[in-house]
Amino acid sequence: MNRHLLLCLGVLQYAASNCAHAQDKSALQIHGFASQGYLLSDGNNFYGESQRGTFDFMEAGLNANWSTGKNWNIAGQLFTRDAGSTDNGKVIVDYLFVDYHAVQTQDSGLGVRVGRVRNALGFYNEIRDVLVARPSILIPQAVYFEGIGMRELLFASEGAQIYSYWDDERTSTTFSLTMGRNNSLSETLVSNLFGDNTSVILKGRADRPVYVQLAHNIDGSRLRFALSSYDVGVDLVTMLPGSRDIHLDARGYVASAQYNTQDWSFTAEYSTTELRFYGGAFNNLKIDIEGSYLQTQYRLSPNMTLLGRYEYSIPHQGFDSDDTQRLVMGAKWSIDHNWTLAVDLHGIRGNSGIPAGDNPDGRRERTELLAIMVGYRF
């Protein structure tokens, strides 16, 4: 078993044994999760040498929320993720912010968070790491860019977030605006972004990311809708002759809809992303990417859920791949409140979303993938 996971499980076990006592005496809430996956594939590697079978897929986090008064609270999370070439298992401060509830009434509220805050993007970005919360082991690749290691750029930003909500008898509406500051990017993320060109890049940083989301729920989330947008810049300093600085602008939108019944959930999301490069050999290069999926979930019992999903992504130019289609079948079993077991089967035609770093000799156009994951939470 992954040695990082063993260490995390030890920390979680210690935290779980002490958090109940701590929570009885204060407004401190402590929770944690850990999951270990096994991947077996044919055609391409996915998170390590999965064509031989690999356990190189692990996630763990320990989070806390402390209410310091009527209008204030502090929240944070330590997190580690090991996923082939896309994540190296380093423990990071995933988010850490002060939350001030400026206005609170029975039906509405307004607040501001300052620090490293989670970005609202689509339905699953903020819960993408917790196995019991996300719909499948791998969240939809066509919208969330999970396979190519974009989590660091998309999940959280350092800056300020304004949020509000309005409720009435049948509906609930939420709004959030995140304005980030410049911050350095890890070598792993730069490698995920630029692959073989990483050797000529000295450093990279995110340039004032902005995330906006408006969401609307009807009849207790029987119907859910959301519209999200983001505008993220990436500045690179390179060793290239001539113009050493390269700037990348990434702008995108995600439209989300979901219909829920007692036994069924139907979800659809559509995203469009525009990438534009300035400087160097890539000057004025523009790349448009579209991605979408249709997903259905059937609750066979309160503890067992079956899933089917069809994904489609279209890189219009500048990528070494054509349109990619992905068919996903999965099942998730909540063994008890703490333990979850999930199984996914992926049939992939095209190589969008396949980690380039795990396939140094090139990516094939056809991949079959079996993913099994067990998760623990408290």
The pLDDT value recorded for residue 316 is 65
Pairing status of strand 183-184 against strand 156-167: unpaired
In the structure encoding, which two tokens stand for residue 211, read together? 């995330």
Q: 204 with 190: CB under 8 angstroms?
A: yes
In the structure encoding, which two tokens stand for residue 237, read together? 């300093």
CA 356 to chain centre: 19
Residue among 39, 45, 82 nearest 60 (CA): 82
**Separation CA 338–CA 128 (nearest Å):** 18
Low-confidence ranges of the chain (pLDDT < 50): 1, 11-12, 14-15, 20, 22, 24-25, 318-320
Q: How many other CB atoms are found less than 10 A from the CB of residue 283?
A: 12
In the structure encoding, which two tokens stand for residue 107, read together? 């039906």
b/e per residue, 48-71, with b = 16+ CB within 10 A? bebbeebbbbbbbbbbbeeeeeee
What's at 159, amino acid-wise? G
The conformation of residue 120, written as its DSSP 8-state character, comes to P
The conformation of residue 54, written as its DSSP 8-state character, comes to B
* Number of separate helices (H) and strands (E) present in the chain: 4, 18
In the structure encoding, which two tokens stand for residue 363, read together? 């990516």
**Separation CA 295–CA 139 (nearest Å):** 11
CA angle 283, 324, 330 (to 5 degrees): 135
- Could you tell me the CA-to-CA distances from 61 to 8, 12, 137, 203, 340 in Å, in that order? 8, 9, 16, 28, 16
3-state secondary structure of 55: coil
